[in-house]
């Protein structure tokens, strides 16, 4: 991040107004060190400017509430609310001229109100503290960032289910330990990744709901003697309710950071699993899928290269994200001042949310444009004795063996073919006869056929056509429900802000 450069402000020699004395200077009797301004105030202000719109809305909600409860008289309320509306509707940065010498963003807005209205403009801080103000804005900006992540993940869910539908029933190999395990279908495979995505949407929404409570009105620690209405400010800002305990109102912002960072890391880990598979399948040695050229890079030296850099970005970010929660937990361990501990180390979450949303968007585009070599997938699906467990099941059913006995018999059949150098996928009749399975080679060949294998996995969640149709239907309904849940939460926020602006304009036109 670049350091904010101090701008000319009320202490500009060309300004006829007297220099505003900062809170710290007023208390401590000396100007702040330039080092403190650069490495503390400047960094904190730079973080807060990311949530500039949210800060103005918070001040507006507070001023409207103070006016409607009679804590502000009608004239003062009208003037402060109008000045904040002008700030919200205009070029906010140009009007504020943020200056780290003044302090945090709340003080920048206070300075603007004083410059606009005179001393009465500074009364915006009545009945609140920087602690509950800053915690409120921390929640607002992170709520907006988290909403983007949830939306991108839902969009990826759409892309995954659409790709599954396009390739429904197409055979592909299943792997464990990077070895052929059992054949499956592309839609069954993608459906499994959808459900991992679904769990992460649920985690993100759970975190959203714990985040979406209002700190405003908690004041410094013990509440306030003024008869404020915390329910109304919570409603105006799209929160579900106020945080009950005044002390918790500021302090609670700390543990939310660790939770948000953790769910972001889990989300990236989930999509990285799909990205890792696609990265492997797109390799020159495997060549089962091909990433669209628009999502690839090349080499500065080797002209033939087609590098899946987007997949590597997703995987790399998932690795880095492991440390995000750890750093938040470390910040919690040393926290002492509730509102500025996060500021001292930067509010990293908006950037981390943006990176996560970007990685999800990359994977969505990759899945939507992916070229799958269906014939190659079909051929390799049945190789390396991947259907051997079906033969073991058949032996249990027809020969009254335990599964372990049948398993050992099939192991011997596979080993005999490997020792004889028989090409993978072929059955040699003399080797089959040697095993004395009591069934003809043609029947064993049918049992080992990958299409037969997939069709006979009839248990719930399996690969049979009926089971896959049930999975696809359930996933589609799940995704639609998630879209509705997110839309409801977004509407709640929008309606609150609309009500705030409506009540604010009613105040400015009533006197």
Q: What is the 3-state secondary structure (H, E, C) of 135-149?
A: HHHHHHHHHHHHHHH
Q: What is the pLDDT of residues 147-201, one digit of tens each?
A: 999 999 999 999 999 999 999 999 999 999 989 999 999 999 999 999 999 999 9
Instruction: Note the pLDDT of residue 337.
Output: 61
If asked whether residues 252 and 355 sit together in one domain, one would say yes
Enumerate the β-bridge partners of residue 173. Answer: 183
> Cα–Cα distance between 109 and 92 in angstroms, integer?
10
Chain-centroid distance, C-alpha 179 = 32
Name the DSSP letter for residue 40.
I
Does 183 lie in the same domain as 311?
Answer: yes
Coil/strand/helix, residue 456: coil
Short-list 157, 163, 171, CA closest to 373:
171
For 375-424, the pLDDT digits (tens) are 999 999 999 999 999 999 999 998 888 999 999 999 999 999 999 998 77
Residue 113 to residues 69, 120, 121, 497, Cα–Cα distance (Å): 21, 8, 5, 21
Q: State CA 393 to chain mean position distance.
A: 43
pLDDT at 334: 67
Report the CATH number that the domain containing residue 268 is assigned in CATH. Answer: 1.20.200.10
Mean pLDDT in residue range 80-102: 92
pLDDT of residue 472 exceeding 50: yes
Together in a domain, 397 and 351: no
The answer to the question of residue 259 being in a domain is yes
Distances from the Cα of 271 to the Cαs of 98, 200, 498, in angstroms?
Answer: 39, 10, 36
3-state secondary structure of 458: coil
126: tokens are 């009545």
456 belongs to a structural domain: no
From 126, 149, 175, the end of a domain falls on 126
% of the chain with per-residue pLDDT over 70: 91
At residue 345 the predicted structure's pLDDT band, cuts being 50, 70 and 90, is low
Q: What is the pLDDT of residue 338?
A: 58
The pLDDT assigned to 6 comes to: 36
Alpha helices in 212-240 (DSSP H): 230-236
Domain housing 444: 388-448
The reply to whether 509 falls in a domain is no
User: pTM for the full model?
Assistant: 0.91
Q: Is the pLDDT of residue 5 over 50?
A: no
Q: Do 309 and 351 share a domain, yes or no? A: yes
Query: Rounded to the nearest 10 degrees, how much is the dihedral formed by the CA atoms of 348, 352, 353, 356?
Result: 180
Judge contact between 262 and 99, C-beta under 8 A.
no
Q: Is residue 232 part of a domain?
A: no
- Three-class DSSP category at 58: helix
Among 342, 109, 337, 58, CA closest to 221: 337
Q: Which residues of 45-80 are buried (b: 16+ CB within 10 A; e: fewer)?
A: bbbbbbbbebbbbbbbbbbbbbbeeebbeeebbbbb
Please report how the helices 465-508 and 74-89 are oriented relative to each other, as an axis angle in degrees rounded to 10.
130
Give the domain-ending residue among 74, 103, 126: 126
- pLDDT band for position 20 (cuts 50, 70, 90): low
Q: Does one domain contain both 302 and 405?
A: no
Q: 3-class SS at 171?
A: strand
pLDDT band at 8 (very low <50, low <70, confident <90, very high): very low
411, part of any domain: yes
Claim to verify: residue 338 and residue 283 sit in the same structural domain: yes
Counting the structural domains of the chain, the total is: 3
Q: State residue 511's pLDDT score.
A: 60
Note the pLDDT tens digit of each residue in 94-114: 999 988 888 888 889 999 999
Evaluate whether residue 506 is within a structural domain: no
Handedness of CA 267, 355, 213, 498 (dihedral sign): negative
Mean pLDDT score across all residues of the chain: 90
- CATH number of the domain bearing residue 78: 1.10.275
CA distance 350 to 79: 33
- What's the pLDDT at 344? 63
pLDDT at 124: 96
pLDDT of residue 1: 33
Q: Quick one: DSSP state of residue 439? A: S
Contact 363, 291 (CB under 8 A): no
Please report whether residue 299 resides in a domain.
Answer: yes
pLDDT of amino acid 243 = 94
Question: Are 215 and 136 in contact, with CB atoms under 8 Å apart?
Answer: yes
Please choose, from the candidates 388, 387, 405, the residue with its C-alpha nearest in 3D space to the C-alpha of residue 396.
405
Residue 226 lies in a domain: no
Condensed to tens digits (0 to 9), the pLDDT of residues 421-465 reads 987 778 888 888 888 888 889 999 999 999 999 999 999 999 999
Residues 6+ apart with CB under 8 A from 114: 20, 121, 122
Mapping DSSP to helix (H, G, I), strand (E, B) and coil, where does residue 306 land?
Answer: coil
Same domain, 151 and 299: yes
Q: Say whether both 266 and 283 belong to one domain.
A: yes
CB neighbour list of residue 483: distance below 8 Å, 6 or more residues apart:
154
Instruction: Please compute the mean of the pLDDT values over residues 193-217 and round it to a whole number.
Output: 97
Query: Tell me: the pLDDT tens digits for 24-46?
Result: 666 667 788 888 888 778 888 88
Sign of the Cα pseudo-torsion (218, 223, 224, 225, in order): positive
Shared-domain flag, residues 82 and 61: yes
Contact criterion met (CB below 8 Å) for 305 and 298: yes
Residues 149 and 188 in one domain: yes
**Whether residue 171 sits in one domain with residue 314:** yes
Tokens at 490, concatenated: 């977004």
Pairwise CA distance, residues 312 & 366, whole Å: 12
Q: What are phi and psi of 190, to 5 degrees?
A: -70, -35
Gap between the Cα atoms of 497 and 503, Å rounded: 10
* Same-domain check for residues 298 and 432: no
């Amino acid at each position: 991040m670049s350091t904010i450069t101090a701008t000319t402000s009320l202490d500009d020699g060309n300004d006829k107004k007297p220099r505003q004395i900062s809170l710290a200077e007023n208390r401590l009797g000396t100007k702040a060190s330039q080092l403190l301004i650069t490495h503390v105030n400047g960094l904190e202000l730079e973080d807060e400017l990311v949530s500039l719109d949210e800060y103005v809305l918070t001040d507006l909600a507070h001023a409207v509430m103070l006016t409607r409860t009679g804590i502000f008289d009608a004239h003062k309320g009208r003037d402060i609310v109008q000045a904040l509306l002008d700030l919200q509707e205009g070029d906010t940065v140009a009007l504020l001229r943020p200056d780290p010498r003044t302090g945090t963003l709340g003080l920048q807005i206070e300075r603007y109100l004083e410059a606009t209205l005179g001393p009465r403009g500074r009364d915006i801080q009545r009945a609140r503290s920087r602690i509950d103000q800053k915690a409120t804005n921390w929640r607002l900006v992170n709520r907006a960032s988290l909403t983007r992540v949830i939306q991108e993940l839902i969009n990826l869910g759409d892309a995954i289910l659409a790709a599954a539908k396009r390739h429904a029933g197409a055979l592909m190999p299943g792997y464990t330990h990077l070895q052929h395990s059992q054949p499956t279908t592309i839609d069954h495979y993608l459906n499994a990744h959808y459900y991992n995505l679904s769990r992460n949407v649920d985690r993100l929404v759970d975190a959203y709901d714990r985040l979406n409570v209002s700190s405003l009105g908690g004041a410094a620690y013990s509440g306030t003697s003024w008869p404020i209405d915390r329910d109304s400010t919570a409603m105006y800002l799209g929160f579900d309710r106020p945080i009950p305990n005044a002390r918790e109102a500021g302090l609670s912002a700390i543990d939310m950071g660790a939770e948000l960072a953790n769910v972001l890391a889990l989300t990236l880990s989930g999509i990285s699993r799909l990205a890792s598979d696609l990265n492997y399948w797109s390799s020159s040695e495997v060549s089962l899928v091909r990433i669209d050229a628009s999502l690839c890079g090349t080499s500065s030296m080797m002209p033939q290269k087609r590098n899946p850099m987007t997949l590597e970005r997703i995987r790399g970010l998932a690795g880095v994200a492991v440390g995000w929660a750890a750093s938040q937990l470390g910040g919690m361990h040393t926290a002492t001042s509730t509102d500025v501990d996060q500021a001292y180390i930067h509010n990293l979450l908006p950037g981390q949310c943006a990176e996560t949303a970007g990685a999800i968007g990359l994977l969505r585009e990759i899945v939507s444009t992916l070229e799958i070599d269906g014939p190659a997938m079909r051929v390799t699906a049945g190789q390396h004795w991947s259907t051997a467990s079906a033969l073991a099941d058949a032996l249990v059913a027809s020969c009254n063996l335990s599964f372990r006995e049948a398993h050992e018999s099939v192991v011997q059949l596979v080993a005999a073919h490997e020792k004889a150098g028989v090409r993978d996928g072929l059955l040699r009749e003399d080797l089959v006869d040697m095993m004395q399975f009591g069934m003809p080679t043609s029947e064993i060949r049918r049992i080992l056929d990958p299409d037969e294998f997939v069709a006979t996995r009839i248990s719930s969640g399996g690969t049979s056509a009926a089971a896959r149709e049930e999975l696809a239907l359930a996933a589609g309904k799940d995704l639609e429900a998630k879209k509705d849940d997110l839309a409801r939460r977004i509407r709640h926020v929008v309606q609150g802000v609309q009500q705030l602006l409506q009540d604010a304009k009613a105040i400015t036109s009533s006197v």
